[in-house]
Structure 1
Amino acid sequence: MSSTNIILIRHGETAWNAERRLQGHIDIALNGEGQRQAEALAAALAGERLDAVIASDLQRALQTAQAVAGARRLPVRQDAALRERCYGGFEGLLYAEIEQRFPREFAAWQARDIDALMPHGARQAESFRQFYARSVGAILSWAEAHPGQSIAIVAHGGVLECAYRAALGLPLETPRNFPVLNASINRFEFAAGKLQLQSWGEVAHLAPRALDELS
């Protein structure tokens, strides 16, 4: 079977990203900077072949994907399995507030206990192991559906982290010591049932000069 080229993208910035407030499944839109990042991203990818654009159904990812798909007149196909990890009762709180209100659960999260669960809030929290299986499974499913094609998948920081770990075979317990940047371009190939990392963290299109040209 032919390989699939995947451009994996983290959504543009939101107000909650800027203030370090945990979003999870809460549906937050892009802020002004995020919208500019999405436009710059679309311009950077304008000359590349894309056969399909897929996104998480949360609007920050969907808005970013619509910028990429718009000029190509491609539909954006939505997949809830590409959502960020569900953090339960942590969602909507600043990191400092989480540490204060839930010190034991916060410590387990920071220690990378991959089976630890956050307290449930409006939604039931996922362990990191559960989230990894969901998000990587979704990426592989879309790749398998597009052999020999090039696809863009717009998702969230945690989803990108999981893809990076899957491609490099990194244990889930190890620290995230690699950047996961808003509106970044990250390239993978899917072949023989496996993800292979081609490049990571392309952000030249987000340099101030590049963004100023879109103003």
Structure 2
Amino acid sequence: MATITFVRHGITDHNVEKRAQGHTQNPLNETGRAQAALVAKRLAGTEWDVFVSSDLRRARETSELISAAIGKSVDFYDRRLREMDRGKIADTTESERIERWGVDWRQLDMEQETHESMRARGVSFVEEVSSRFAGKRILVVTHGYFLGQTLKALMQDESTGNELRNTSVTTIERRDGRWNYLLYDCVRHLSGE
């Protein structure tokens, strides 16, 4: 039985501006780097057997700060952990989308990834690493919307996985043939609790 701890990357200017990030390679902002340093300090108190990260810059930067604190390099970067592919709307805000494509832009084919595709790659990742590293503590740095969709699929619960906060910590464990939360969207490291 594997235990998987997911960390959402630190905040970016794109998050603040409500700009669709998708597969863009935008960096953490100053606040995001501070958040990542705090979650890194929190995670340093645990022994991690396997460390995996999304390959997108904001996740890589978060994982680099964590790596320095926990004394363990990222074992591998996995493209399946990337955020939802936003297609044509990547790097735009709602007002920019309306200006470019009109108020009904959602009715157009914007070449965005489907929820089903995102959930499938998330479940594929979880099933593979939990089998490959059975009995290990796995640390994963990823993205909020992707993680939320993955959790909805794993838990078979549409009420879960909504609006996960930057650098939140979520731990899941498979027991009796089903995934369960041990910790969910926890950001106590940001408040000093």
TM-score of the aligned structures, taking structure 2 as reference length: 0.89
Alignment of 1:111-122 (within 5 A): 118-120=109-111
Matched, 1:170 2:157: yes
CA–CA distance in 2 between the matches of 1:181 and 1:73?
25
CA–CA distance in 1 between the matches of 2:104 and 2:127?
34
Alignment of 1:137-148 (within 5 A): 137-148=124-135
CA–CA distance in 1 between the matches of 2:78 and 2:175?
22
CA–CA distance in 2 between the matches of 1:167 and 1:55?
19
Compute the displacement of 1:75 (Å).
Answer: 2.0
Gaps of 5+ in 1: 109-116
Q: Percent of pairs identical after alignment?
A: 28
Compute the displacement of 1:150 (Å).
Answer: 0.4
Q: Secondary structure in 2 aligned to 1:138?
A: helix
Label 1:31 to 1:118 Cα distance change in 2 as closer, same or farther (>3 A): farther
Which residue number in structure 2 is paired with residue 114 of structure 1?
none
Contact 1:42–1:67 (CA under 8 A) maintained in structure 2: yes
Q: Secondary structure in 2 aligned to 1:71?
A: helix
Which residue number in structure 1 is paired with residue 73 of structure 2?
75
Query: In angstroms, what is the RMSD of aligned CA positions?
Result: 2.2
Alignment of 1:20-31 (within 5 A): 20-31=18-29
Contact 1:28–1:59 (CA under 8 A) maintained in structure 2: yes
Which residue number in structure 2 is paired with residue 134 of structure 1?
121
Which residue number in structure 2 is paired with residue 45 of structure 1?
43
Matched, 1:94 2:58: no
**Residue type of the alignment partner of 1:84:** E
CA–CA distance in 1 between the matches of 2:69 and 2:109?
41
Query: After superposition, what is the alpha-carbon deviation per residue over 1:7-27, rounded to whole angstroms, capped at 9, x for unaligned?
Result: 111100011101110000011
Structure 1 stretch 63-72 or stretch 187-196: which is displaced more? Answer: 187-196
Compute the displacement of 1:102 (Å).
Answer: 5.2
Label 1:51 to 1:64 Cα distance change in 2 as closer, same or farther (>3 A): same
Gaps of 5+ in 2: none
**Residue type of the alignment partner of 1:158:** Y
Report how many aligned residue pairs link the two structures: 191
Contact 1:40–1:206 (CA under 8 A) maintained in structure 2: yes
CA–CA distance in 1 between the matches of 2:141 and 2:109?
26
Compute the displacement of 1:196 (Å).
Answer: 2.0
CA–CA distance in 2 between the matches of 1:170 and 1:152?
23
